[in-house]
Structure 1
Amino acid sequence: MEIRQFFTTIARRWKFVVAFFVVGIFLAAWLSAGATPVYSASSRVFISTQASNSAEAYQAGTFSALRVTSYAGLANDDSVLTKVISRLGLSETPDELSKNVSATVNTSTVVIGITAKAGTPDQARLIAETVADEMTNLVARLERPQDPAAQPPVLARVVGKASFSSSPISPNIPLNVVVGGILGLLIGLAGAVTRELLDTSVNSAEEAAESASSTVLVTVPKDSTLQKHPLISDPQGSREIAEAFRVLRTNLQFVNVDAEMRCIVVSSALANEGKTMTAANLSVSLAQNGVSVLLVDCDFRNPQMPALLGLEQSVGLSTVLLGRATLSEAVQTHTSGISFLATGRVPPNPAEVLQTQAMRDLLTSASQAYDVVLIDAPPLLPVADAAILASQADCVVMVAAHGRTRREQLRLASERVELAGGHVAGVILNLVPKRRFGAYGYGYGYGYGYGELPTTPSIANAGKGRDKKARGRRRENSNI
């Protein structure tokens, strides 16, 4: 992973990193607060020799310096610690006590520093003083001459009283919190990079285009207002989403300038990726630009368009296919200006119904009566309905949810369209987080701005040579 990719990953998954950082701080603080405090106390033992003149004093000093290192090891001797335990009435064993007692020799001196740790300051002081006292006794026994009248060559004396602090040396809460935060941050960074490397979802327009072997027509931001105002015809709806669909409307005209696109299927790899709302808002956007649009709900598996538009579902596509109503009788008009054909009663065999000659004839008739026919199709991977419709339409527009749709799923869905004889016109990257939406802007696909072009090469041609009265609101050179 390159440096730029690393920082991009951190910027994308900063919440994950921050969460581990905060958890590390709180965990360190919690463990430190619950830990048993440890106090420390220190005492000193001075090692000296007997000397009558300066020459002997120098030799005695050298002798003491050589012996003092050996004496420092006596602080953890069982004979010393056993007597300390006996004198203080401790419940510890010599091995356990040795872990809390240490002796060090100050450089170039004959002073042994003894450090003791305990649960209270007084206990630490008593242990340090008792260990120092027992060390002097042990040195006295070891250095006792055979001649009772002779002076021992080495003497050990306790220097002053033991020093101690009323503040515990452990736990060091500020230090532990800092260390915990650093460890949490490092784990968060490693986890973010690992998740990025293992993540197979579509997280950029480049990944969507590569997976579908097509172009990204537009990126649609994720907006909380869609729950209450899903259609761009709503004055209280999101302006960013409305602008995105205007750009999509413009970009669609350049997908294939040599062929007409009068029948367009809107589908996705799996459910819950926003295809139904995309189809509805694309229809509204086209109608706002003077294009006559028929929106057909072919999702017999899970028809949601009637509820979205607030229209009736009982009469619709299945009604027309059964010959119980004509297309004009089954079509409903929405306040936004689009014409809508619902599913009607759901048949038990949707795929077989969509593959009939009656369905092909209906799409042909609809394409002659309207400038654009938009089909809200079921997802491509779970069922065959969308692939069947793709073979009957001019093109398919794929909807992929940012961070949800897998790259492999998008690739397989695109391949299913091609195998059915259809054509993927492009991908709409939906539900893009707003923090990343600004990086995409409106530059993807074939459009380059906010303006509308005066002609629509691929769709406007569909209206040439037909009677204007029969087309109603359509214009001969309408824009998309």
Structure 2
Amino acid sequence: MEKTYTVKQLLDMLVKHLQLILTTMFAGLAIAGVLTFFIITPKYSSQAQLVVTLPQTENTNVNDVNSNLQMINTYKDFIVSDLVLNQVQEQLASKYKIEMKPKEIEDAISVEQNQNSQMFSIIAKSPKSVDAAHIANTVAKTFQDNAKDVLNVDRITIISNAVAESSPVSPNKKLFLAAGLILGILCGIVGALLLELMDRTVKDSAFITEELGLTLLGTVPEISDKEINANIKKAHKMVDGGLKPKIGQKDATTTEARRRRSRV
């Protein structure tokens, strides 16, 4: 038999295990903080912007312009070709002492095109901001030197050289901390619900009648420790009050005892 829970019952479960939820929340935040500030290596981004123009003729029309835009995909493939990457590898090693393999250079760069524009950007990412700028500029210059002959383009203009940025683009510290906080809360909620579902102790009369199918004959009210201590003190007072004689009775008993001794 499947048991359903009301929203109030679920909230009561969460409140009951509030300490667990808070613990996992701060633990998730702490783990995210350690990963963000001490483990994950920050990366810096730099971009160089270029414009490529095809040879112009007297019969140049809209179709030629569209063809020029479509050529951007060809430029992207050419930038990551062995011809360009091998030259970039050599120049980075000789000029800037940056040792990278062609595959590593390919993974470090990306090409983005503005919508319906002949302008595109070569973006490089590296753990060092200066290296990112050197990589982007070297790739852009190497592409410029080779594309005129290989792709038969009229003019390649680097309109913006890459510069070293002071702030890393990854990891996103605020996003990581927020994600750690949320995951910590979710883990706490799941843990609280699992503890409640795995707890098979009898908590109310509904468990006896609904889960076990037994008849409820009666209930014993729950008494708090404070009430128990108060009742014990009250009982002690009643017992002490019944055993101790009153002052008049004590004096009469003492006098009678003295009379018996004098007779003897």
Scaled by the length of structure 1, the TM-score of the pair is 0.43
Aligned to 1:22: 26
Matches within 5 A, 1:155-304: 155-202=155-202, 204-206=203-205, 215-221=218-224, 238=226, 240-242=227-229, 245=231, 281=232, 285-286=234-235
Shift of 1:208: 8.5
1:49 to 49, 54, 58: 54
Deviates more, 1:41-50 or 1:81-90: 81-90
Picking from 49, 64, 68, the partner of 2:68 is: 64
Whether the 8 Å CA contact 1:50–1:60 is kept in 2: the answer is no
Other structure's SS at 2:156 match: strand
Q: How many residues align?
A: 230
Task: Give, in whole Å, the separation in 1 of the partners of 2:170 and 2:178.
Answer: 15
In 2, are the aligned partners of 1:41 and 1:116 still within 8 Å (CA)? yes
1:228-274 Cα shifts (integer Å, max 9, x gaps):
xxxxxxxxxx4x5446x5xxxxxxxxxxxxxxxxxxxxxxxxxxxxx
Greater share of helix residues, 1 or 2? Answer: 2
Trace 1:388-467 onto structure 2 (pairs within 5 A). none
Matched letter for residue 200 of structure 1: R
Q: Which has the higher strand share?
A: 1
Superposed, which structure 2 residues align to 1:71-220 within 5 Å? 71-89=75-93, 90-143=98-151, 152-202=152-202, 204-206=203-205, 215-220=218-223
Q: 1:208 to 1:215 in 2, by over 3 A?
A: farther
Aligned AA for 1:217? V
Code of the residue aligned with 1:122 in structure 2: it is V
Tell me by how many angstroms 1:184 deviates: 1.0
Residue identity in the other structure for 2:66: T
For residues 103 and 66 of structure 1, the distance between their equivalents in structure 2, rounded to whole angstroms, comes to: 14
* Secondary structure, aligned partner of 1:47: strand
Query: Residue 217 of structure 1 aligns to a residue in which SS?
Result: coil
Amino acid at match of 2:143: M
Using CA pairs below 8 Å that are at least 6 residues apart, which structure has the higher relative contact order? 2
Measured in 2, the distance between the counterparts of 1:336 and 1:30 equals 67
Q: Supply the RMSD in Å over aligned alpha carbons.
A: 2.9
State the shift of 1:157 in Å: 2.4
> Unpaired runs of 5+ in structure 2?
244-264
CA contact under 8 A between 2:110 and 2:123: conserved in structure 1? yes
Deviations 1:72-115 (A, max 9, x none): 23333333222222111133322222222111111101112111
- Per the TM alignment, residue 123 of structure 1 is displaced from its structure 2 partner at its CA by 0.7
TM-score for the superposition, normalised by structure 2: 0.76
- Helix, strand or coil: the match of 1:102? strand
1:51 to partner: Cα distance: 1.8
